[in-house]
Amino acid sequence: MATGDYNGAAVAFEGLARGAEGRGGPRAPHLYLQAGRARLMIGQVAAGMGHIRRGLALLAARQQWPVLHRTGQLTVAFLTERGLTQEAQEISDYLKATLPPVPVSDFGSQAAPGESAKPLLPTT
């Protein structure tokens, strides 16, 4: 994608994503997200969003909550920057419906979904 050949990148990432998913590979979600990003960069919104939804769904199915949260937020920002506000809202709504509640520590700080709250004071 660095050279600007987004169509070629999309085709490559799609093939890699399907192969990785078929083998249960851990990179499959990220490959789908990259394929989606490449499709969006050439204006193929429907195809791009399909890949993005698949990548996020794989993260959710694997209960990779911190990664889903972080990746989802980056995806919302990416879509918003490109004026795809309806699509950004769709992903934001998906995250709200899918992610488990965020635990709050005794000190009021929030931990990332799926991670336990970390102490604020050193323990050594």
Per-residue pLDDT of the chain (124 residues; tens, 9 = 90+): 667 899 999 999 999 999 999 999 999 999 999 999 999 999 999 999 999 999 999 999 999 999 999 999 999 999 999 999 999 999 999 999 999 987 655 555 555 555 655 556 666 5
Q: Is residue 94 in some structural domain?
A: yes
The answer to whether residues 5 and 41 touch, using CB atoms and an 8 Å cutoff, is no
Q: Is residue 70 in some structural domain?
A: yes
What is the distance between the alpha carbons of residues 115 and 91, in angstroms, rounded to a whole number?
A: 21
The pLDDT value recorded for residue 6 is 96
Q: Is residue 88 in some structural domain?
A: yes
Whole-structure pTM value:
0.80
What is the distance between the alpha carbons of residues 9 and 69, in angstroms, rounded to a whole number?
A: 25
Q: How many domains does the chain have?
A: 1
Owning domain of residue 10: 6-98
The pLDDT value recorded for residue 3 is 79
What amino acid is encoded at 6 in this protein?
Y
Q: Give the residue ranges of DSSP H helices in the chain.
A: 6-22, 28-41, 45-61, 65-81, 85-98
